[in-house]
Amino acid sequence: MLNVEEALKELSQKNLNQIQKETAIKWASRACASFQNCLSEEGAKKMVCWSVGEEFAHEAVEHAALVEGEDMVSVIKQELEPYRDRAAQDIDQLFEKKAVPSEQNP
C-alpha cells in the first residue's frame, strides 16, 4: 500500500511547493470529473457525485492555499467553476422536473 521508495524519489526531485501545487491540481481534476459525472447519473447517484466533487474541491483549495508565490486558490476556483456550475444546473433541473407535477395537481 505505501510506496516509500517512490516518495523518497519524489522528495529528491521536487520541493514542497511543487508537491502542493501538483496535489491541488490532482484534487481539482478529481472534483471536475465528479461534477462531470453528475451529468450522466440519475437520482441519488447524481447527489453522491456532487458531494464527492465538493469534497475533492475542498481538498484542492486546501492544498492550493499552501502554494507559495502564486495565487493557486484563485486559479483552482476558476478552473472548477464551470464544472460545478454545469453540475448545479443539472441538479436544479432534476428538482424542477419533480416539482412541476405537484404544482399542476394541488
CA pair distance 87, 34, nearest whole angstrom: 9
Above 60 in pLDDT, residue 103? no
Q: Which three cell numbers stand for residue 61?
A: 483549495
Q: Which three cell numbers stand for residue 34?
A: 465528479
pTM for the complete prediction? 0.85
Q: How confident is the model over 5-22, as a mean pLDDT?
A: 97
Label residue 47 left, alpha or beta by phi (over 0 means left) and psi (-120 to 50 means alpha): alpha
Residue 29: predicted pLDDT: 98
Contact 67, 20 (CB under 8 A): yes
Confidence band, pLDDT 50/70/90 cuts, at residue 96: confident
